[in-house]
Each structure stands twice: as structure tokens, then as C-alpha cells.
Amino acid sequence: MTKVRVTERVHSIEYAIRDVIVHAKQFAKTGKKIYYLNIGDPVAFDFDTPQHIKQALIKAVEEGANAYSPSEGLPELKEAISQKEKRVNNVNVSADDVIVTVGISEGIQMIMAALMDAGDEILLPGPTYPPYISYARFFGGKPVTYETVEENGWQPNLDDLESKISKKTRGIAIINPNNPCGALYEKKTVKQILDLAGAHDIPVLSDEIYDQITYEKKFASTASLGKDVPIIGLNGFSKAYLMTGWRLGYLYFHDEKERLQELKQCIEKEARIRLCANTPVQKAGVAALNGPQQHIKETVKKLRQRRDYAWKRLNEIENVSCAKPEGAFYFFPKIHTVGRKWKTDMEFALALLKETGVLLVHGSGFDTIYGAGHIRGVFLPPIETLEEALDKLEYFLKENR
């Protein structure tokens, strides 16, 4: 038998954040310590899922909530999401306009499947969260990144964005607060993006998974700013509610003129063919949204201290510069010797891992244009661990000038 043929679309799949783990496994065989700064998983460090959420899951299982649930999500969870969006983000969205997903990544997949045909384009902030690129390509579309300006805190370049709108553009994505850069977009910038979308009759995708993890400035939801533009919101429970491994997210459709109805109906079909999200986890999601919220303030306080340390420390290292993260828990510094000492940021990241055990993600994995020459890391570990890892980064750069 000849080897089994696989499709071209599967060959195109990349996910830089986890792809680098393949190299880390080889390094781990040497017995040396690895500093995992690649994945944005707070629960892998010293953050823990709140007890009332854990208990809600246990209770749900023990009381028999173990059957299939509605494909669009449990009604009580959809209602809790509706209330949370109003309470936290000042967004009016009905429970009927919510679809529960298996993490926000499934939501991205569903949207791309419903929007993209061969040759269609989606506008994404550059750098961007990799699944947007991979899923757009998977369904035959073309991801087009618009510039975000590092010197301006990674704010979108609106002129560049407008210049890339074409007849093939099916949507404009906003990731705010931003992964991988930690940017928090200004209200006026988001409004201007909405104005552009409205002028060209294009829907907006707004990824807001880090909506409650901001520092000095307050987040403003896209749907709270845009009344006349169809908006597809994406959010979930992994970050603010410390439920990463539980895989629970949601989409909502915000459009007073009902221009998203056909899209919503088609995404509901996608939800049906995958049956449903995890039923007992959805029960716990209700408890997460309706129960105590104090852990979020405590999480943000702890993260702010680590953000301040990592940002200051990075900018003290020769040949490194880093914009200040205003949200999420990532740093995205530029390595100025990439292109001289190392040909690419991937080459740099692998050399750093091999010599020091510090695992960071190459910036070009988030966009080959606007991410090149950078690395992305998390400031989730305790400061002592961050200090060890950044000391190793500094030593590595000094030894390889």
C-alpha cells in the first residue's frame, strides 16, 4: 500500500505557540530545566480556578447533568452570558444571539468556515493570534494583516487598514486587549475602525477574551461603541475565570438591523454537527458568571506586579526594546540583533532554548510581516522565575553580540 495522501489544507496548519513545544521536548531529554514562557495559561502557574466554580462542576456531575445539552448552549448559560456582557461591557445582546463554543478557538473556526470561500480575504491586526491565520487559510481564504504600530503601543494604523480593504474583504478582526502584543486599543481607534467597516459594508469580528484583564486603562467593548455595524463578539472563560483546560467560550451576534441572521443560522448548523459543548462545564460556567468575582481583581493585581517587573527588566537588556503591555499577560519585545547575529526570530528562539532552556515564541509565528524580529512571552510566572528567565536571556544576548 502506498502512503495515505493528506490534503493541502492540513499541511498549511501552523500554531507557533504550541509548535515550539516540539523543540522543547528534545531539550527536556537533556535533563535541563525549561522555562515555559510560551503559552498563556495562568493555571499552569500559581493561579487557580476559583473554588465555587470547581464545586459547581462537581455538583453538576453528581446531580446528573451528564447528557447532551442544546447545541447552541444551555439556556441558563446563554442568559448568564447576556447579563455578563451588559454588566461588564455595557453590551446589549439577547441570550438568543449567543452560541456557546468549545473554547474561543472553536468560535474562530466556526466563523471562518461560515465567512470564507476560496479567495476571500479577512483583515487581521498584525501581529495576530495565529488561529485566525490558520483557519482562514484552511477554508481557502486569504488572511491579510493590517499594521499595528509598535512605537505607538501597537495601536492599529488606520490608513494601512483602509488601504487593504477590497471587494474580497469579508470581515475586519479586532483583538482587544491584544494577543500577542498586550495592546489596549483606544476608544477613538475602535470607533474609526467601525466607521471604516460601516462605510464598506463589512462585519467586524471582536475578540475580547482578555476584557477583564487590563491595567491602567479601562477596556471598551467594540459592541458598546458600534450601533450601526454588524459585530460578531468572541469571548470565553479561560483567562478571567481561570478555566483554560475546561474549554468553554462563546460567540454573540450584535446587529440591530439583523444583517447577521443568515450567518448566525449557518454557525448554529456548525454547532449542531459537533453536537454540543461539555454539559457539566457549562453548568460551572453559569456559576463562574453569577458567582463571586473577587478573584479577577486579585488576579489583575498580581499580574500588574509581574507586568511591571518584566517590562522594566526587558528594556534594561541591551538590544531589546518592549512596548508596555496594557492588557492580557504577554510581552512582545523586539530583538534588535535578529537579522544580524541570527537570520530570523525563529533561529533566535531556538538558539535561546538550546543554550538556556528559556522557551519563547518567535514573533513571525504571529505574522511574518509585522511580527518578524520579535519574540512573545508570558509574564504569568512568579517574579523569581521571571527574573531567572530574563537573566538567562540577558546573558545569552551578551554572549552572542
Q: What pLDDT sits at residue 42?
A: 96
CATH number at residue 138: 3.40.640.10
Question: Who's near 75: CB < 8 A, 6+ residues apart?
Answer: 95
Distance CA 209, CA 295 (A): 16
* C-alpha cell recorded at residue 200: 464598506
Task: For residues 142 and 272, state if they share a domain.
Answer: yes
- Read off the pLDDT of residues 328-361 as tens digits, 9 standing for 90 and up: 999 999 999 988 888 999 999 999 998 899 999 9
Task: For residues 185 and 206, state if they share a domain.
Answer: yes
Q: What pLDDT sits at residue 5?
A: 80
Distance CA 166, CA 122 (A): 10
- Read off the pLDDT of residues 229-254 as tens digits, 9 standing for 90 and up: 999 999 999 999 999 999 999 999 99
Distance CA 114, CA 111 (A): 5
Task: For residues 95 and 188, state if they share a domain.
Answer: yes
- C-beta separation of 311 from 330 below 8 A: no
Distance CA 68, CA 304 (A): 40
Cα separations in angstroms, 358 against 331, 375, 376 = 14, 12, 12
Q: What pLDDT sits at residue 162?
A: 97
> What are the two backbone dihedrals, phi and then psi, of residue 378, each rounded to the nearest 5 degrees?
-110, 145
33 within domain boundaries: yes
Task: For residues 264 and 154, state if they share a domain.
Answer: yes
What is the chain's length? 401
Task: For residues 73 and 142, state if they share a domain.
Answer: yes
- C-beta separation of 135 from 108 below 8 A: yes
Which of 290, 306, 333 marks a domain boundary? Answer: 290
Task: For residues 24 and 114, state if they share a domain.
Answer: no
Please, which residues bridge with residue 234 across strands?
207, 251
Give the domain range for residue 28: 8-48+295-399
Task: For residues 349 and 369, state if they share a domain.
Answer: yes
- C-beta separation of 244 from 109 below 8 A: no
At 213 the three-state DSSP class reads coil
1 within domain boundaries: no
> What are the two backbone dihedrals, phi and then psi, of residue 149, each rounded to the nearest 5 degrees?
-100, 115
82 within domain boundaries: yes
CB atoms closer than 10 angstroms to residue 82: 20
Task: For residues 280 and 315, state if they share a domain.
Answer: no
Which of 268, 290, 312 marks a domain boundary? Answer: 290
* C-alpha cell recorded at residue 273: 454537527
CATH number at residue 22: 3.90.1150.10
Cα separations in angstroms, 53 against 13, 81, 100, 164 = 34, 15, 18, 44
The total number of structural domains that make up the chain:
2
Which of 267, 290, 313 marks a domain boundary? Answer: 290
321 within domain boundaries: yes
Q: Residue 93's closest CA among 101, 81, 84, 82?
A: 82
Task: For residues 244 and 328, state if they share a domain.
Answer: no
78 within domain boundaries: yes
Q: Residue 379's closest CA among 300, 297, 321, 298?
A: 300
What string of pLDDT tens digits covers the 401 residues of the chain?
578 887 877 777 665 555 666 776 777 677 788 899 998 999 999 999 999 999 999 999 999 999 999 999 999 999 999 999 999 999 999 999 999 999 999 999 999 999 999 999 999 999 999 999 999 999 999 999 999 999 999 999 999 999 999 999 999 999 999 999 999 999 999 999 999 999 999 999 999 999 999 999 999 999 999 878 999 999 999 999 999 999 999 999 999 888 999 999 999 999 999 999 999 999 999 999 999 999 999 999 999 999 999 999 999 999 999 999 999 999 999 999 988 888 999 999 999 998 899 999 999 999 999 999 999 999 999 999 999 999 999 999 998 87
Please, which residues bridge with residue 101 across strands?
249
Distance CA 3, CA 1 (A): 6
Task: For residues 279 and 319, state if they share a domain.
Answer: no
- C-beta separation of 93 from 223 below 8 A: yes
- C-beta separation of 269 from 116 below 8 A: no
Indicate the residue type of 189: T
Q: Residue 330's closest CA among 156, 206, 173, 154?
A: 154
Distance CA 351, CA 396 (A): 9
28 within domain boundaries: yes
* C-alpha cell recorded at residue 140: 481557502
Task: For residues 258 and 374, state if they share a domain.
Answer: no
2 within domain boundaries: no
Task: For residues 195 and 144, state if they share a domain.
Answer: yes
Give the max Cα distance, the chain: 62
3 within domain boundaries: no
